[in-house]
Each structure stands twice: as structure tokens, then as C-alpha cells.
Amino acid sequence: MTATRTEIFSAGIVEAGLGTVTREIPAGEPPPWPPNAELTWIGKDVPRLNGRDKVTGATRYTVDVRLPGMLHARFLRCPLPSAELRKLDTAAATALDGARAVIALARPGDRLRYAGQPVAAVAALSPGVAAEALAAIDAEFRPLPFVVDMDEARAPDAPLVYDEASAPKGNPSGFPAAPGLPVVGNVRGPAVVRRGDPAQGFAAADIVVEGEYRTQVQTHSCLEPHAIVADWRADGLTVYMSTQFTSGVRQELAALFGLPLNRVRVVVDGMGGGFGSKSQLGVYGRTAVELSRLAGLPVRLALDRHEEQIDAGNRPGTFQRMRLGAKRDGTLTALAIESHGTAGVALGAGIGFFAERIYTCPNFETLQHDVFVNAGPGCAMRGPGNTPGAYGLEQAIDTLSERLGLDPLALRDRIDPSKARREERRIGAERIGWSRRHKPGADPGAVKRGMGVAQSLWMSNVQTNVACEVRVLRDGSVEALSSVQDIGTGIGTVMAQVVAEVLGLRPGDITVRIGDTEFPPGGPSYGSRTTASITPPLRTAATRVLAELGREAARMLNAAPEELEAREGRIRVKSDPGRSLAFRDAAALLRTDRISAVESRADDYPGFRRRMPDAAMAHEDLGGVQFAEVAVDTETGAIRVERVVAVHDCGRPINRLLLESQVQGGVLMGVSYALLERRVMDRRTGLMVNADLEHYKLAGVHDTPEIEVVILENLQGNSATDAYGIAEPANIATAPAIANAVYNAIGVRLTSLPMTPDVVLAALGKTGRS
Amino acid sequence: MTRPEMAGPGKTAITLAVNGTSRQLELEPRTTLAEALRNTLGLTGTKIACNRGACSACTVWLNGQPVLSCMTLAIDAAGQEITTIEGLAHGEALHPVQDAFIEHDAMQCGFCTPGMVMSCAALLERNPHPDAEAVRDAIAGHYCRCGTYPHVVAATLAAAERKP
């Protein structure tokens, strides 16, 4: 048994009034932090510490890495959506002057299942020679029947993407697919989640609402493409990679190439966007390492924009049938969903656990199916499953509220058990001016305005396999180290704030070294878990090094160590602050050049809701409520999102400036998903026709609404920092909030994404012969 | 603009004036300015994201005007003053737009940031006191997948306030 002690924590939503919670915590954990108002750096707007490097172009991204003797690699990709590889002769490519390594990734007789699937790869002295070498590969493809449209793929006579034996069992994002599901034609499933008795629930309902919703395939469109520089040497492998998970990639590489972990190093400095798509090693990563091993030289492999759009992951498209049963007072009696989704040749197109967890409903059923089509594999993307799932359910709830004659907020007050979202609805309604909301389609002019709301839910994820180190050097300088990577969230700055808070220094005094597996293993930056995972052990480690420093300082100050505190750059006696030492002078008393503490992530104090080998989920989910105000031009069909109010919670907020950035980003990705983005596959050629950034439309500044961000301080007494994540919740509610606002504007419900002008005009009956 | 009658396909000698320094290069005429800056001169602050003029990540200045370096041949930039993100600050002193970007957190992953900074700084050079709409117009061709636009606009307006 670990020794424990009892502590009383502030708990509750600060904005709604605080209470306390008593926790039995491990004896080595730091004392409770008070609310942010009483802290120096936590919860404050600290500008990101690597900002200077970013605005001067000094940040080194993977695509910027240049090593001596570095080769350039390229893929030969399958040009057809479905083909048999008849011939693959690489002799001429291998013989080409300047080509240093050629590998086949498929063999004659192999079935290739999407346009863009890697077939072979070359490494050469320059990109130009690599391109020549690709051209010298003699490859023949026999075209086979294909299907790229999900509805067509569900037809009984559709060309088969897989047979039952060859169908994938998991998906490339590493999300486990439910095992043992039947595959019939191109459809795998259903994966079933059931509680209570849905049939009885519908029978008991006063009102039943049904709806069908469709969401498109969205590409991640990271501005920095997937890229790696692999440097295989006799004494070990070093990989520079644009990744969301350095230590995970290290594990994959060690296992794949039979290397001990201590001979594999993964490094990332600048990381130009991932959004879920850069979580694994991937075929490109594996290929670059293999080429480097063969050539005995470093190899750079960076996808070009076309490759990035067709074969770097995507958010699966979905078709959802929803059925909701309710009593007249709004109480839900039953919820049933059947969904089909496509992640191309991969699995993972479910619509998540959004409906399963967000509302109180005793009788519940989801039947989720994956449909295979001949297109690039999907993977996790910002709020996977829940983002399309919320688009459907939050519209169905909006429809239900109207049928019941209840305000959408009042209905949610009745059926949503989350205290955080209740407060978020209250604050958001006030900020957006919800009382101004009119009846659907009530605006008289051609441009009709409307207001809508939708909610978010995401797991409070924690990576338990996470460690970090804090060092104090004898000159008073401080380092915080972990392999955790900054994918744009500013985690390094957050780490500096935590250490500075403990040591009584300024964030700028802390040198943060991250993005390198030479340091203690940080967790992944996906699943909105980075801050939740790394900040508690970091605070504990900082507390431990301070205690060691305090023992030296106490002798000098003739005080007991527990009488001391670290504030404003000094170690001082709490009861007599005049008796103090500069932090630097205290460090000079150390017997060695450096002291250090390494800590790993302890469990949340009240335990976890669910545990996996390296990760866990906290008891309380993350919430979030978003309100949108739109203007719909009923003559052109154009939707303009004018304003979004996004109210979110993430436990204890550490840096409000950075949080605001992330929430704005989540909202904008949601606006883009709602109105603009769509991967377009040509049914006749099986190719993606908009695999670029001209025709694949992303939201630009002129599509950007005014965005107001509110972050609650939701204290739970769960860990040394009580902090959780925000990235995914910020994206999930946006599209349905916009859809509900559009309904409120025009009085016609749009049920498919993206909500482009043609969709609006069709819904208004203004296209074709009508 | 001086330019040989005919050049290529092999390497040809060109001189580029980059951030106030004259640089002699041997380049194939098909080399874009973005490639020359990044691959030959090692100035990797200029980013390539779409490589065909759709995203503006590669924005640099030619004679003070923002241009897309992925759509400009290096050979066509000879004889003009090229300013890249590495040349915007004066020593330790950042351009006011750079300072304001840091203060307002007008960046997330930062990959589009050098291009954004170059366009916003160019705007303030030609219009020292823009309104929000002018800032939006100045970055209308830039894509930011992280969604930093609101902070970019706020930062640029703040930088304009600070400029004399």
C-alpha cells in the first residue's frame, strides 16, 4: 500500500460557485492548488515561449531538416482505384545513375485497392533523379472493377473491395475495430451498443422524431505534409518526423526493425499540423527507414500536396438514421441509430459514442457499419466519430425541441446531466443574445438570419504511460524535459508555466526541451490528452526538486524546510518574507552541478472511469456548448456564419490565450466542415478530382465569423493540476450549431454536409424545374 | 531586369539579392524562388505547402511587394530585392508585426506563420493604419489550417496602433 494523506480541494465550476471535495491522495503528491485567481502563472495569458522562432522562420520543421549526404525519396503509386499488379521491374531504376535504393511495396499478383496506394519507392541523390527513377520502373496494372461511392458500394452487386478473409481487422489510426463482425459485400458490421429495451422505449414515447443525416469525407489538409528524415546508422536509428507521438513512433520502429528501444531516437521540433493524421509511423515512415537502411545514408521522404490529399488520412463520410422517442416534457424514452460510414479501404467510420453518452436515455441502441470503397484510408480526425455523430444527433434534438414546443436549451436542461454544459448553456445564451432568437424562417427579406445551438462531448483522456523530468542547475537555471511534442497547442509554454508556478520563477526562466525521445517518454498529442497527461507529473517533479533545493536553503536561512516558499524568484520564510535567498543563490548551495526529479503520471485521485494499457479516461467527460448566428441568402444560397459563441470546459485552464487559439481553430475547422470541405471522387475514374488546395476548399479569413470564446474553470480535485484538454470538443459542436441556425433562418432543415449554396437552393426548392 | 536570352535546361549562374546580401547561385532555370531559398540558400523559414499558389505559405517580398515564391522562378527574381522572413527583423529588434503576432498568439503550428507575417508586414508598409477589413483582404489568399485568422487580424491591427 502506498502511503496516503487526506486533502481538501476546491471543486466545482468557479463561475457557478465553488465547493470542496475531500480526497485521499498518495503522500508524494503536491498540496492542492487554489483556484487560478490565487495563482501567479496558471490560468494566465502567457504568450507562447517559442513564438519568436515561429515568427522569424527559425523553427525547424521536419521538411526543413537537411542532413549531410541526405537522399530524396519518392513513391510510385497505383494510378487506378482497383487493379492487379501484373509486373513490377525495378532493374532500370536501380541502375540509374544517382539512384541509391529501390524497394518494391507490392508484388506481381497483388491486388491494389485505391488510387494512390504505394507500389514502390526510390531514394536518389536529388528529387529530380528520384522522379527519373520512378519513371524507369516498369510497372503494369490490370484494371479491376471498383466502387468509390458509399451508396453504390452497399448495393448487392457492387464490386468487392475485399473478401471476408482479406478485410482489415483494425484501422491505421490504431483504433481497435470491434472484432468478429460479419462482412457482407462491402459492408462490415453492425457494431452494436444496446442498453435497456429500445422497442419498449419507443412504445412508451409520446412523440417520435426521425431523421437522416449525411456527412462528407474531409481531408486533414495539414499544411506541413507528412514527412520524415530517417538516418539509419550502425549504432542506431534517428528519425526526424512530423509526428503527434514521438515515443509511439519509437515503439513502432523498434518492433518493426528489431531494434532495442535505446537505439531508436525520434525527434520533432516544429510540427506543421496533424489533427489526428500523424499519430502513427505509417507506410511512408516505414518506407523511408527501410530505404535509409538499404542505402546507408539519411533519406528524406515528404509527401507532395497531391499525395497529402489522397493518401494521408481523412475523416470518414457517414450516413446516419436517427430515431428519438420522448415524453411530452422532453424526457427521452428511446434513442436508436443506424449508421453506415466509409473510411475508404480502412475501418473506423463509426459515429462515435456521442449519442451513447450525452443525454439521459434508458433505452438505447446503435448499429454501426463500415462500408469499404476504393479510396485512401481514413483515420482519426479531430473528434473522430463524435464530430459527424453530433451533426446528426444535435439536429435531431433541435427537431424534437420544436415538435415539443420547447426551447432547445430548456429541452437540454431536462435531458443533459452535465453540470458544466448547463453552465455553458446559460453563459452562451446570454453572450449570443438567445432571447432575440425568432421563429424559424421569420426574417422577411431575402437574406434571412437565424440562431442555433449545439453541444459537444469528448472523453477526458489521460495517457498514463507519460513521464517528465525537472532539473535545477547550480547556476539557478531550470530545465523541463519530456519527449512530448508541440503540435501547435503550445504545450511547451504550458509546461513552463507549471514549473514556474512551483519554483516561484517566470515561465521564460524555464528551458523546455521536448519533442525528442532522448527525454522521458511524453504521451501522444491526440485525443485532447496532452495537458492532462503531462502537467500533473511535471508539477510533482518540480515540487520534488524544490524540496531538495529547500533543504539547502533552509540551512542557510536557519529555518525548517517546510517553513519555506518559492515566490518571485526567491526562496523565503513564509512567516517572515524578509528572510530570503535568491533562487539562484539557493541553487549555488547545491552539492552537485545538477539536481533532477523524474515523475510519471499518477492515476487521477478518484481513479479512472476506464483503463487501457497505456491510457485511461477520467470520470467526467469534457463538455462544450456552441451558439451560431448565420445569414442565409435565399437568392444565392450562400450561408454566412456571422458569429459563434463557444463556451467550453477543460478542468483547470492553464493558459487562456492558447486555449482561445485552440477553440477558435476548432470552430474554424467546424465552419469549414459545415460549409466548404468535401473530398470529391469521380465515380467513373475512381480518382479524387480535388486533390489540391485550389478545389478542396478550406475556410479562409473571409469565411471567419466573429468568435467569442469562454472557458470555464471546472475544478474537480482530480490530479496535481486538474487540467484536461480542449482541441476536440472545440470542433464537435460547430457544424450542428450552424445547421440548427440555418434551420432557424430559413425554416428548412439541411441534412447533409457541406451545406453549399446548391444544397441550400435545392432545399428551398429553387433549383431544377421547380 | 537583366536576363539571358536563353537559359537551361542545365544549371545557369544567377545572382540573387536576398535580405541585403548578394548571393551567387548555379540553378536550373526551372527552379522556383521558394526552392532556391529553401534548398540552395538554406533559408527554410519560407514554407512550401501547396506549391502552386493556392495557400500563400511561401510569401516573400520582391522589392517590398509580397509575392508567391512557389510561383516565381528564381531566375525572374534576379536583380530585385528579395526579403524573406529571416530578413524582416532588424537584428534583435523584431518587426512590429512579429512582436504583435507573439503577443496575440497569432500562430499555432506556425507553418503558415512566416507567410502571414510577410503579408501583414507588407500591408503596414503600404498602409500604416489599416482597418480590419484591409487586414482581412491582405491575408485573403492565405490558408491556416489551425484557424489563427482572428488572432492574425488582431495582431496586425495592434501592430499598426503601435507604429508611429
DSSP string, chain B: ----SS--SS-EEEEEEETTEEEEEEE-TT-BHHHIIIIIS--TTS--SSSSSSS-TTEEEETTEEEETTSSBGGGGTTSEEE-GGGSSBTTBPPHHHHHHHHTT--SS-SSHHHHHHHHHHHHHH-SS--HHHHHHHTTT---TT--HHHHHHHHHHHHHH--
What is the DSSP-derived secondary structure letter of residue A294? H
Residue B24 and residue B80 in one domain:
yes
**Which CATH number applies to A419-457+620-770?**
3.30.365.10
| Beta strand B65-68 pairing with B59-62 | antiparallel
The CATH class given to the A166-222+319-417 domain equals alpha beta
- Chain A residue with CA closest to B96: the answer is A55
pLDDT tens digit sequence for A10-57: 999 999 999 999 999 999 999 999 999 999 999 999 999 999 999 999
Residue identified by cell 459514442 is A353
Contacting residues of A for B146, CB less than 8 Å apart: 273, 488, 661, 665
Nearest CB to B107: which of A54, A64, A668? A54
- Does residue A206 surpass a pLDDT of 60? yes
pLDDT reported for residue A767: 75
- Could you tell me the CATH number of the domain that includes residue B37? 3.10.20.30
Contact check, Cβ <8 Å, B111/A61: yes
Task: Check CB contact of B11 with chain A, cutoff 8 Å.
Answer: no
Q: Would you say residue B4 lies in a domain?
A: no
- Does residue A161 surpass a pLDDT of 60? yes
Size of chain B, expressed as the number of residues it contains = 164
Range of the domain at B147: 96-162
Residue B134 and residue B100 in one domain:
yes
- Chain A residue with CA closest to B91: the answer is A56
pLDDT tens digit sequence for A339-388: 999 999 999 999 989 999 999 999 999 999 999 999 999 999 999 999 99
Last residue of a domain, one of B43, B58, B86: B86
CA distances from A573 to A40, A441, A475 (A): 18, 67, 22
Q: Which B residues in the span 126-155 are in contact with A, Cβ-Cβ below 8 Å?
A: 136, 139-153
- Does residue A175 surpass a pLDDT of 90? no
Helices (H), A630-733: 656-675, 729-732
Cis peptide before A47 (omega within 30 of 0): no
Q: Would you say residue B3 lies in a domain?
A: no
Nearest CB to B150: which of A59, A222, A704? A704
Contacting residues of A for B101, CB less than 8 Å apart: 51, 54-55
Quote the CA–CA distance of B53 and B62 in Å, as a whole number: 16
Cβ count near A186 (within 10 Å): 24
How is the beta sheet containing A570-573 ordered, strand by strand? A564-567, A570-573, A576-582
Residue B55 and residue B100 in one domain:
no
The total number of structural domains that make up chain B = 2
Contact check, Cβ <8 Å, A305/B51: yes
Quote the CA–CA distance of A365 and A71 in Å, as a whole number: 53
Residue B148 and residue B114 in one domain:
yes
- Measured N-to-C along each axis, helices A246-257 and A282-295 cross at an angle, to the nearest 10 degrees, of 50
Nearest CB to A698: which of B139, B145, B150? B145
Q: Which B residues in the span 33-72 are in contact with A, Cβ-Cβ below 8 Å?
A: 38, 42-52, 54-55, 57
- Please list, residue by residue across A665-681, b when 16 or more beta carbons sit within 10 angstroms of its beta carbon and e when fewer do: bbbbbbbbbbbbbbbeb
Contacting residues of B for A272, CB less than 8 Å apart: 47, 49, 109-111
Nearest CB to A47: which of B57, B105, B139? B105
- Chain-centroid distance of CA A534 in Å reads 16
| Phi-psi region at A434: left, alpha or beta (left = phi > 0; alpha = psi -120 to 50) | alpha
- Does residue A709 surpass a pLDDT of 70? yes
Contact check, Cβ <8 Å, B102/A47: yes
- Measured N-to-C along each axis, helices A656-675 and A734-746 cross at an angle, to the nearest 10 degrees, of 50
- Does residue B162 surpass a pLDDT of 90? no
Q: Would you say residue B69 lies in a domain?
A: yes
- Chain-centroid distance of CA A160 in Å reads 32
Residue B80 and residue B102 in one domain:
no
Mean pLDDT to the nearest integer, A584-603: 97
Confidence of residue A192 (pLDDT cuts 50, 70, 90): very high
Contact check, Cβ <8 Å, A700/B143: yes
Rounded to 5 degrees, what angle do the CA atoms A469, A472, A477 make? 120
Q: Which B residues in the span 76-115 are in contact with A, Cβ-Cβ below 8 Å?
A: 84-86, 88-89, 94, 98, 101-103, 105, 107-114
Contact check, Cβ <8 Å, B142/A701: yes
Last residue of a domain, one of B60, B86, B112: B86
In Å, how far is B129's CA from the nearest CA of chain A?
Answer: 19
In Å, how far is A43's CA from the nearest CA of chain B?
Answer: 15
Q: A367 in helix, strand or coil? A: strand
Cβ count near A226 (within 10 Å): 26
Contact A144, A84 (CB under 8 A): yes
Give the count of Cβ contacts less than 8 A between chain A and B: 159
Nearest CB to B147: which of A52, A64, A665? A665
First vs last Cα of chain B: how many Å apart?
34
How is the beta sheet containing B65-68 ordered, strand by strand? B21-27, B12-18, B81-83, B59-62, B65-68
Q: Would you say residue B75 lies in a domain?
A: yes
Give the amino acid at A222: C
Contact check, Cβ <8 Å, A661/B148: yes
Rounded to 5 degrees, what angle do the CA atoms A295, A296, A301 make? 60
Contacting residues of B for A55, CB less than 8 Å apart: 85, 94, 98, 101-102, 107, 113-114, 117
- Chain A residue with CA closest to B146: the answer is A665
CA atoms within a 13 Å half-sphere pointing along the CA-CB vector of A59: 29
In Å, how far is A561's CA from the nearest CA of chain B?
Answer: 38
- Does residue A309 surpass a pLDDT of 60? yes
CA atoms within a 13 Å half-sphere pointing along the CA-CB vector of A263: 13
In Å, how far is B3's CA from the nearest CA of chain A?
Answer: 25
Asked if this assembly's ipTM is beyond 0.85, the reply is yes
pLDDT reported for residue A171: 66
In Å, how far is A662's CA from the nearest CA of chain B?
Answer: 8
pLDDT reported for residue A41: 98
pLDDT tens digit sequence for B84-117: 999 999 989 999 999 999 999 999 999 999 999 9
Residue B63 and residue B110 in one domain:
no
- Does residue B3 surpass a pLDDT of 80? no
The residue of A45, A55, A278 whose CB has the most chain B CBs within 10 angstroms, and thus the best one to mutate to test that interface, is A55
Residue B77 and residue B127 in one domain:
no
- Chain-centroid distance of CA A286 in Å reads 23
Grid coordinates given for A59 = 523553427
Cβ count near A749 (within 10 Å): 17
pLDDT reported for residue A164: 78
What does residue A73 show for φ and ψ, rounded to 5 degrees?
Answer: -110, 150
Contact check, Cβ <8 Å, A47/B149: no
Q: Would you say residue B1 lies in a domain?
A: no
Residue B76 and residue B16 in one domain:
yes
- Segment (H or E) for A342: strand A332-342
Contact A413, A428 (CB under 8 A): no
Confidence of residue A168 (pLDDT cuts 50, 70, 90): confident
Grid coordinates given for B156 = 496586425
Counting beta carbons within 10 angstroms of the beta carbon of residue A692, is it exposed (0 to 12), middle (13 to 18) or buried (19 or more)?
Answer: middle
Grid coordinates given for A554 = 533552509
Contact check, Cβ <8 Å, A661/B88: no
Of 2.60.120.10, 3.30.365.10, 3.40.190.10, 3.30.470.30, the CATH number of A62-146+223-310 is 3.30.365.10
Grid coordinates given for A65 = 531538416
Quote the CA–CA distance of B71 and B67 in Å, as a whole number: 8
The Cα diameter of chain A in Å comes to 92
What is the DSSP-derived secondary structure letter of residue A359? S
- Chain A residue with CA closest to B89: the answer is A56
Residue B18 and residue B80 in one domain:
yes
Q: Would you say residue B117 lies in a domain?
A: yes
- Could you tell me the CATH number of the domain that includes residue B137? 1.10.150.120
Of 3.30.365.10, 3.90.660.10, 1.20.1250.20, 3.40.50.300, the CATH number of A461-617 is 3.30.365.10
What does residue A518 show for φ and ψ, rounded to 5 degrees?
Answer: -70, -20
Contact check, Cβ <8 Å, A223/B109: yes
pLDDT tens digit sequence for B122-161: 999 999 999 999 999 999 999 999 999 999 999 999 999 9
Grid coordinates given for A602 = 499518477
Bridge partners, B160 (sequence order): none
**Annotated domain spans of chain A:** 62-146+223-310, 166-222+319-417, 419-457+620-770, 461-617
Taking Cα atoms as reference points, which of A213, A206, A174, A207 lies closest to residue A355?
Answer: A213
CA atoms within a 13 Å half-sphere pointing along the CA-CB vector of A52: 7
Quote the CA–CA distance of B159 and B164 in Å, as a whole number: 10
Please state, for a pLDDT cut of 90, what percent of chain A lies above it.
Answer: 96
Nearest CB to A57: which of B50, B51, B114? B114
Grid coordinates given for A570 = 526567491
The residue of B59, B105, B157 whose CB has the most chain A CBs within 10 angstroms, and thus the best one to mutate to test that interface, is B105
CA distances from B135 to A694, B13, B152 (A): 22, 39, 9
Mean pLDDT to the nearest integer, A673-694: 98
Residue B143 and residue B112 in one domain:
yes
Nearest CB to A488: which of B45, B108, B141? B108
Nearest CB to A52: which of B49, B85, B102? B102
pLDDT reported for residue A1: 61
In Å, how far is A356's CA from the nearest CA of chain B?
Answer: 29
- Does residue A770 surpass a pLDDT of 50? no
Contact check, Cβ <8 Å, B143/A56: no
Residues in CB range of A462: below 8 A, 6 or more apart: A529, A532, A533, A601, A604, A608, A615, A616, A617, A618
Q: What is the DSSP string of A431-488?
A: HHTGGG--STT---SSEEEEEEEEE--B--EEESS-EEEEEEETTS-EEEE-S---SS
